[in-house]
Amino acid sequence: MLKPEYFVFDDLIQKRLFRIPNFQRAYSWEKKQRSDLLDDIIKVYYKEKETKQEFAHFMSTVVCLEHEIPKITIGASEFECLDIVDGQQRLTTLIILLKSISNALRKGNKQHKEYAKAIDLLLIKQKNDEAILLQTNHDNSRYLTTFLKTGKITVDSENVSKTADKNLINAIKECEAFINRW
């Protein structure tokens, strides 16, 4: 049964763990798609600044199915487990952007570092791979997992052979550059 729900991004990622199933394509967004998403974020920011009010921006749908293990308990928290069947490219990019924000905040004052820690707790619930906010289906090289855990990428996209890995590494670099410019 379909059960449409409407969330702002923060509500979408709270108390949930996402997995991209094997039947979905690997990360395929290139610079154009990522630029469009980042441009939308800038437009919303300036519109809010100009109007001095919060502005909602529809970023399209994310379609999920409950995972075969519907919930995971970590400490005192319970997380709904969902397989992403549509919207995985956008969600992956937004999660990379969140980690880039965390990385930038870590360079700031004490309050900024607390914000970074809160973001990191959203992204990584535990050290094991079962409790990462987003598990991708084709991350055999663990580039995304490593970035979410450590905030670093240790390889250049020119040194990898798979297109999906190149796209992920380029997404990380572009999101980091976007946050550092902003």
139-179 pLDDT, tens digit each: 778 899 899 999 999 888 788 889 999 999 999 999 999 99
CA distance to 52, 130, 135, 151, 163, per residue, from 145 (Å): 37, 11, 8, 10, 17
pLDDT at residue 127 tops 70 = no
Q: Give the integer Cα–Cα distance in Å for 2 and 68.
A: 17
pLDDT value of residue 135: 84
CB under 8 Å to 65, separation ≥6 — which residues?
82, 83, 85
- The predicted model gives 113-126 an average pLDDT of 92
Mean pLDDT for all residues in the chain: 89
pLDDT at residue 128 tops 90 = no
**pLDDT-based confidence at residue 1 (cuts at 50, 70, 90):** low
Q: Give the integer Cα–Cα distance in Å for 18 and 65.
A: 10
pLDDT value of residue 173: 96
Helix (H) or strand (E) holding 8: none
Write the single-letter amino acid at 176. E
Judge if pTM exceeds 0.95: no
Digit-coded pLDDT (tens) for 52-110: 888 777 778 898 888 777 888 888 888 898 999 999 999 999 999 999 999 999 999 99
- 11-23 burial code (b ≥16 CB/10 A, e <16): ebbeebbbbbeee
Write the single-letter amino acid at 12. L
Q: Give the integer Cα–Cα distance in Å for 13 and 133.
A: 8
